[in-house]
Every structure is written in structure tokens, then in C-alpha cells.
């Protein structure tokens, strides 16, 4: 009985340890959406969809640039005023994930898509 309880506790601890923890570190509008493919993809995108975040350290406009892609297509960037910490985490080799947090019909294109960024621990 005690052995079975011990095994159950070990297995429970292992499954908890195996799960990753995601910490929300940023929630921002998508910068540059008006210049990329948001308009063409708007009807297909859904809240909760994952996005790929890619560093562009050689970007001539912003050394901390983080490109946002959905299904391999460029949507825009994390805002320049808010991308420094995410860029630094990515440069350190940290694991970050993004998702579409909101899709809003708005006259300003840069207010239509909100992106959330998580650091995975």
C-alpha cells in the first residue's frame, strides 16, 4: 500500500514537472499591419491562433525587431517601443511563444490585431 502511494506521488510530481509554464510578458497591437498581409488574411485568422516570432537583429530600422508571422506569412512586428525585453530573451536563447489575442474591426490598421507574447519556463 505504501509503495503504491509512493509510486503515485512520484508519477504525479513527474507529470507536473513535465508541464511547461507560460508567463505572459507582453500584450500589444501589431505594428506595421497595414504594410503586410493582415488584410488578405483577416478572414482566416482566429483569436488564439499561434504566431511565430522571429528576430531580425539586422533590421535597418530597429536592432530589436521581432517579426510576427502567421502560417508562414508576415503580419508585422512587435511594436518598437515594447520589443526590447522579448528580443533580449530570444537572443539569450529563451523560448518565447506568441498568439493572436484579439481581432478588432478598427479604422486604424495597427489597432486591428493584438498579439500576446509568453516566455516558456
Cβ(86)–Cβ(53) below 8 Å = yes
- Name the CA dihedral angle for 70, 62, 59, 108, rounded to a multiple of 10 degrees: 40
Integer Cα distance of 37 and 76 in angstroms = 8
* Tally of CB atoms within 10 A around 65: 20
Q: What is the pTM of this model?
A: 0.81
Confidence at residue 38, expressed as pLDDT on a 0 to 100 scale: 83
Q: What is the average per-residue pLDDT within 97-101?
A: 97
Percent of the chain past pLDDT 90, that is, above it, reads 65
Whole-number pLDDT of residue 20: 82
Please, is 50 exposed, middle or buried when counting C-beta atoms within 10 Å of its C-beta (0-12, 13-18, 19+)?
A: exposed
Domains of the chain: 20-120 (3.30.70.2330)
Which of the four pLDDT bands, split at 50, 70 and 90, describes residue 9?
A: very low
State the distance between the two ends of the chain, measured CA to CA, in whole angstroms. 35
- In 3D, which of 57, 64, 38 has the Cα closest to residue 49? 38
Amino acid at each position: 500500500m505504501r509503495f503504491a502511494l509512493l509510486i503515485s506521488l512520484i508519477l504525479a510530481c513527474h507529470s507536473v514537472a513535465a508541464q511547461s509554464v507560460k508567463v505572459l510578458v507582453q500584450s500589444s497591437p501589431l505594428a506595421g499591419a497595414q504594410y503586410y498581409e493582415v488584410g488578405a488574411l483577416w478572414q482566416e485568422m482566429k483569436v488564439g491562433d499561434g504566431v511565430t516570432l522571429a528576430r531580425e537583429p539586422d533590421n535597418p530600422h530597429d536592432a530589436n525587431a521581432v517579426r510576427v508571422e502567421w502560417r508562414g506569412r508576415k503580419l508585422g512586428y512587435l511594436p518598437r517601443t515594447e520589443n526590447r525585453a522579448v528580443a533580449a530573451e530570444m537572443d539569450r536563447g529563451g523560448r518565447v511563444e506568441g498568439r493572436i489575442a484579439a481581432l478588432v474591426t478598427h479604422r486604424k490598421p495597427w489597432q486591428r490585431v493584438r498579439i500576446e507574447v509568453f516566455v516558456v519556463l
